[in-house]
Structure 1
Amino acid sequence: MNPAGAVPALATVLATIVLGPSSPTTPPGAEPPTIVVDRARAAPGDRVTVRLDRWPAGTVSIEICGNGGRRGSADCAVQTAVQTYVRPSGTGVTSVTVTAPPVGCPCVVRVTALGGTTSGTVPLAVAGLPEQPVEPVTPAGSSGVARLRVTGVEVIGGRSWPALFGGPAERVLFVTVRNDGVAPAVDPAVAVTLGRGSQPTGFVPPPLLGTLDPGEQRVLRLPITIPAPTAGGYTVRGQVDGADQPARFVVTVTTYPWGLAAIAAVLLGVLVVAELRRARKVPRRPGWTRPREVDPLAGNPSSAGSGGVRGRVR
């Protein structure tokens, strides 16, 4: 057998068995979601193509993780995580750059649905990284868990001139995140989408949160741009991955092209005034003359200049 063709085949076989305890419950007779990578081994800096099938429609996050991805973002290289959109058909494809995770291998490609419970991993051997025993997941609520919570969401802005005329609308999203656990949250991944409807698909480049110590609170500042033409309501949805469970948030943003409405009102006023002026200047119909007025007391006009004096006969 040709060794060059064995690697993709091996990757496909591995991908069909990856969705384990973290995947959703699959109805009887239905096939589970799958993750397929184009290779079984890569080096840091390589780009790996990831294909998804039978996933719920929406945005997913893809990252390289150590420790089998058992502890979520705490095991993953969140700085090189990418997002892609799964189409209503359940398929999606993108590529991710292989980066050394914060912990040793076994390494995996981890896929997590934004705002949902679907997640899964596929093994990926990363050259040059040490192997270590898998560290177990600390049970939720125990002393070793970082528990993230979104305590505030605010959107400011909206005074830009382009937005008044239907152009791109600039906003700034502020998200306050607090670690209510007793363990630090190390570089938790942040995923944000923007668009119309309750499940937006527009990608918003997220900032790095850094390490959030127990009891610490931090405000994330995310500039967002609503693409033109802008009118109506838009949804911003996101989540911050914690070691215990994701902290999610959603907010609605509205923008209206008031400048266009003002211009339309001015033009309508100008047209009305012009029409009124035109109506006043309409010329009289040709051939029409004003009738001559006759004074009944003046008598016959033909005798008025005879100089005679009329008298009364007794």
Structure 2
Amino acid sequence: MLLAVLLTALLPALLLTAPGAEAGGRSAAAPEPVVTLSKKQAGKGGEITVMGKGWRPDTLLMMLICGQSTPARGVIGGTNSCANADGRAVTTDKKGAFAKKLPVAEPPVPCPCVVHVATVTGEQAVADAVFVVAGHPVAALPKQTGDGRLAVLAATRLEGDSGLLTWFGAPPSRRLVFTVGNLGSAPVKDPVFQVGTAHGVFAAQWEERQWRGTVEPGRKARVELPVELTAGAHGDYQISLKYGTKVLAEQPWGVGRPWGVTLFWILLCLVVPAAVFRIGMAVVDKARPRPGHAAGRRTQRPSPRAGVTVRLPKLRRAPAQAAGPAPPASTTTAALPWFTPDSAPSEHRPTTKGHS
């Protein structure tokens, strides 16, 4: 009975730690992703066929030609060292294989060069194949200093807040904060990290960020790196942290839409037509003739007979009558039309109202 209880308790742990399985659901015996090329060397303007196997089925991949890179050290400068404009995307089949033609382009940095293939979404997987771009300059790789190895000891987080200007389209910015520890035997001085920004299904754009300080062997340090997006950026972003060729952490970042820009355009569409209408009405009102001004212009118009003088005939006075006494003024007052002498009211006429 006791043995059955112990087997029941230990069976899940034995299944999880079995050599044929991993936490991610991928078999430990599964082959690593491999990339092969149809040609090892070609000049600018040519074309090669990139073939791969051992990838996850139905996975979107990005293929780039990168400089200052080797399969052992990876792409040292991130995708900034790659010919991004001439890259190609490909999707693996049900067996995790693919074959895709890639145009040959010169990367922005000298060779040694590789054909770099990496997953765009999901679990990170990378594979490089040595390639020579004919006629492209070649330079030595930067030297590695010490045997220090940095690892992230705590979960990364984004600190900071967007200001009012971000609401009107200013670039959103944060600080990527994490704690690293030196697991190597030599100190790491002024380490250079790479911060990648990915939006949607697009590949991450990597930028170098140098942290000033020294991490002694067996010590840890708190690191803060600035992260900034482009102006007007919004949506879901994925921030990745890489040191050397190893991705140390990933952090999602949801950026809100800059509604201030939308509000500005709405107000602009309302204010500008209203202002144009007001200006047009003012111009029309200014150019319209006034009634008083028109009448004044008509009265001031010169007459064709302005120089003609009209003389009226003189009136002769009637001859004066012989001097004599003036007739006496009539004392008779004209009667009003609605009264006659007989109907005029009398003070002594008795009234008809009753007896006195």
Name the TM-score, length of structure 1 as normaliser: 0.45
- Larger RCO, structures 1/2 (Cα 8 Å, 6+ apart): 1
Name the TM-score, length of structure 2 as normaliser: 0.41
